[in-house]
């Protein structure tokens, strides 16, 4: 029996599940698009031994040498404890170092290594290609408008909370 023939035998309402109710929400479409993006990004970052968050942290450290973990956690909008493993991994990969801050012996100044800067350049390039594919159906104006709208969603909430 062909797949089409099989489908015809299935009960009508169960034949194809409709998500029409949910499709009207930005939140639902946001979740779906995010999932697609994350799965694809993971694949792109795998050759570098990176995942989404270690990639993000590496970019922030190269762009902001000397930043502390708490500042990084703040910038990534996450809790401090979750930074520890991320920084551990980047250090183990030899991409960054934890330098002691002489004026505050509680803190670490996070700095990229030469290797870290090289991997940064390669990874950003790979992610840029990934982004191009991801948004291939959007013209530049739409792409910018989406970025702007997503930021509005984020900022809006941040204002209301803290």
Partner DNA sequence: TATTGTTATACTCTATAACTATA
Partner DNA sequence: TATAGTTATAGAGTATAACAATA
Question: Does residue 14 bind its own copies (CB under 8 A)?
Answer: yes
Nearest-Å Rg of the Cα atoms of the chain is: 21
Which residues, numbered 96-125, are part of the site for its own copies (CB under 8 A)?
A: 109, 124
Nearest approach in angstroms of CB 31 to DNA is 6
d(CA 57, CA 69): 10
135 — phi, psi (to 5°)?
A: -110, 25
d(CA 97, CA 67): 11
Nearest approach in angstroms of CB 140 to DNA is 27
104 — phi, psi (to 5°)?
A: -150, 95
Piece in contact with its own copies (CB under 8 A), picked from 34-42, 81-89, 90-98: 34-42
Residues that bind DNA (CB under 7 A): 31, 35, 38-39, 42, 51-54, 68-71, 76, 78-84, 87, 98, 103-108
């Amino acid at each position: 029996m062909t797949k089409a023939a099989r489908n015809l035998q299935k009960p009508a309402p169960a034949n194809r599940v409709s998500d029409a109710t949910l499709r009207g929400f930005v939140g639902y479409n946001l979740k779906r698009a995010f999932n697609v993006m994350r799965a694809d990004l993971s694949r792109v970052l795998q050759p570098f031994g990176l995942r989404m968050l270690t990639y993000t942290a590496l970019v922030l450290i190269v762009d902001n040498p000397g930043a502390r973990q708490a500042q990084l956690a703040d910038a990534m909008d996450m809790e401090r404890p979750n930074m520890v493993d991320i920084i551990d991994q980047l250090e183990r990969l030899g991409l960054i170092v934890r330098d002691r801050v002489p004026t505050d012996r509680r803190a670490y100044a996070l700095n990229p290594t030469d290797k870290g800067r090289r991997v940064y350049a390669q990874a950003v390039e790979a992610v840029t290609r990934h982004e191009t594919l991801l948004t291939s159906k959007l013209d530049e104006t739409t792409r910018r408008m989406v970025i702007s709208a997503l930021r509005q969603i984020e900022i809006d909430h941040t204002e209301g909370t803290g």
